[in-house]
Amino acid sequence: MAVYGYIRVSARDQNEDRQLVAMHNVKVPKRNIYLDKQSGKDFERPMYSELVQKLQKDDLIFVKSIDRLGRNYKEIQEQWQFLTRVKEVDIVVIDMPLLDTRRGKSLVGTLLSDIVLQVLAFAAENERDNIRTRQREGIDAAKAKGVKFGRPRVGMPENFDEICRKWRYGMITTEQAAQQCGVSRSTLYKRYHELIGDP
C-alpha cells in the first residue's frame, strides 16, 4: 500500500504551505505529494492525472479538505466513485474525519460517507459560485466608481495628426510613423481609425 497526498491551490501566487504541513502531519512521503496550481472547476489537471495513473488497489490518498479535491459538485462525486470503486483506493479528507473510507466499509459507513460527501461537494461548488459572484460585484462596483480595468490606454503625441498626414501620403513608412508615435504598428492603425477615421 502506497500513501499519497494531493494538494491544490487555485493560482500560482497562492501558498500551499498549510496543506503541506497537513500532509507532513499524516506522514505522507514528500515524493508522493502531488501539487496542482489550478482552478478546481474540473479535473483536467496535470499532477492529479499523474497521481491517478499511479494509483494501485488499496493505496491511500490524503487531501486537506474536499474543496482542494475540486469545486464541481457532479465531478467530485464522479471522481470519488471512480477512485474508491474502480481504482479501489482509500481517501481521507483530513479536515472531515467522517470522510475516511478506511472506516466506512460497512453499508452504514458507506451511506454516511456518501451523505457527508454530497453535502461537502455541494458546499464546495456553492462557494465557487459565491466567489465568482463576489468578484463580479466587486468589478461592477469599481467600474461604477470610474476604476479602469485592463491595460492603460496609450496616449498619442501632440503632432499625431501631422505624423498621420505624412504616413498617409507616403512621406514616411508605417514603421517610421509607429516609431515617431512610440507605439506598435497595430496600435498605430487602431488609434488612427479611432481618432481620424478610415483613410
Residue 45, Cα to own-chain centre: how many angstroms?
A: 10
Strand 3-9 relative to strand 60-63: parallel, antiparallel, unpaired? parallel
Question: What would the DSSP string read from start to end of 54-76?
Answer: H--TT-EEEESSHHHH-S-HHHH
Q: Which amino acid is at 164?
A: C
The dihedral built from the CA positions of residue 34, 36, 39 and 41, taken in this order, carries a sign that is: negative
Q: CA-CA distance, 1 to 57, in Å (whole number)?
A: 8
Instruction: List, in sequence order, the alpha helices (H) in 82-184.
Output: 107-144, 160-168, 174-181
Alpha-carbon torsion, ordered 144, 146, 149, 153, to 10 deg:
150
Q: CA-CA distance, 130 to 71, in Å (whole number)?
A: 12
49 is catalytic: no
Q: How many CB atoms lie within 10 A of CB 23?
A: 24
Annotated active-site residue in 10, 39, 65, 113: 10
**Could you tell me which residues are beta bridge partners of residue 34?**
6
Which residues participate in catalysis according to the annotation?
A: 10
